[in-house]
Amino acid sequence: MQQVLVSLGTRSYPILIKNGLLKDCGQYFLEHMGKSKVAVITDSHVAPLYLDQVLNSLQDAGLSCCSVVLPAGEKTKCAECLMELYAFFSEHGISRTDAVIALGGGVIGDLAGFAAATWMRGIRYCQIPTTLLAQVDSSVGGKVAIDLPQGKNLVGAFHQPSLVLCDPEVLNTLPDEFWCDGLGEVVKYGCIHDEALFSMLEEAAPYGRHALMKIMETILEHCIGAKAEIVSMDELDTGLRMTLNFGHTLAHAIETCQHYEGLHHGQAVSIGMYAITSLSEAKGITQFQTTDRLGRLLKALGLPWALPDIPGEQLMYAMQLDKKHTGSILHMIVLDHIGSCHIMDASPEFFAPLFA
Ligand code: NAD
Ligand code: GLY
């Protein structure tokens, strides 16, 4: 069993990582969160695969539980589904001493986490992430939110979980496109924080998903360790935590221009990381040949690096809008070399050479 701690004083919490952990989740829950009524929230793809296993384990541990299954997909991260959860909590008498389990990917984690943050002014919750993206990123750090018609993640909170339970084996059933989403973030941690992780990925990548799954416990420990360290130092995202956005400025612009119906998030992040590194290397900010090394890894992992066919002006406009939206200058994350990065203030014009 690997264990990582997010260190936040009295709100510190552990992340347990172990192949096969799901079947014993009740016991881990009881050990770390104590006896309480548990509301398990999941989606329609995850429920047939894992819900019974989780409910059986909770019941075997003597916990009383109830569950709700929401439709799978980003559309579920909405105000209507949030109201549905409040009605479910009310119907099952979920009180301040009870707890929520988010069993699913980032959509369920963000929505269930926000419901827990706001129900009766905040109750405890446990994340059981089932996508690679949720395991390495969204389940750790306490950012919870819903989308509005006006934009993604516009209503949210910082509400840290009390426990995160990660079972790498659940990734065996994850469809390829969602596997790639997580891989983009895994490469990101190697780039910004952890050259040893990057080298490990370089070694395994040519042998495919199977080879990566063999070392997944270790990969997760590295990624989650990096995120836990960053969140412990900058919980509220005012400095260091922004480094987690490496590659994301251009990625968001690509996703916006394609109305979230084109490239998957991880593919857009992959292109974003490669593009910004090629620009910063050309300016002498990033060590010579870093872009080549990054490009080779992305290619071996089956991730794209070339810009999609979107006019440069459209991408620049989308970045300009994003900048207005956040009401600040653009914080660009650039690599010093693989394993180290810094934050640089810039304008969208930084990307202009890409479209020349
Ligand atoms: P998701 O939750 O929609 O999951 C992707 C798909 O995989 C869904 O269809 C789901 O039903 C299915 N699935 C999940 N686990 C499975 C499994 N083990 N086997 C088979 N199918 C499975 O998407 P995601 O990529 O996990 O998360 C994306 C969301 O995360 C976005 O809403 C994004 O805003 C959010 N996010 C939040 C943070 C944060 O810090 N809170 C960080 C990054 C992303
Ligand atoms: N996914 C970025 C963060 O947690 O800050």
CB 63 within 8 A of CB 35: yes
Strands 99-104 and 38-43: parallel
pLDDT in tens, 115-153: 999 999 999 999 999 999 999 999 999 999 999 988 889
| Secondary structure (3-state) at 302 | coil
CA distances from 255 to 127, 184, 203, 219, 268 (A): 27, 14, 30, 27, 7
- The β-bridge partners of 151 are 148
pTM of structure: 0.95
Closest ligand relative to 235 C-alpha: 2
136 alpha carbon – ligand 1 mean position (Å): 11
What residue spans of 149-247 are helical by DSSP H? 176-192, 195-204, 208-214, 216-233
345 alpha carbon – ligand 1 mean position (Å): 30
Cβ–ligand 1 distance for 41 under 6 Å, the answer no
Nearest residue (by CA) to ligand 2, atom 2, is: 244
User: Alpha-carbon distance 205 to 207, whole Å?
Assistant: 5
Helices 290-300 and 176-192, packing angle to 10 deg? 160
Lowest mean pLDDT among 275-279, 285-289, 345-349: 345-349
- Residue 208: left if φ>0, alpha if ψ -120 to 50, beta else—which one? left
Nearest residue (by CA) to ligand 1, atom 35, is: 106
pLDDT in tens, 45-96: 999 999 999 999 999 999 999 999 999 999 999 999 999 999 999 999 999 9
Residues with Cβ within 6 A of ligand 2? Answer: 137, 141, 143, 237, 241, 244
Spatial CB neighbours of 224, under 8 Å, sequence gap ≥ 6? 4, 15, 17, 135, 136, 140, 164, 166
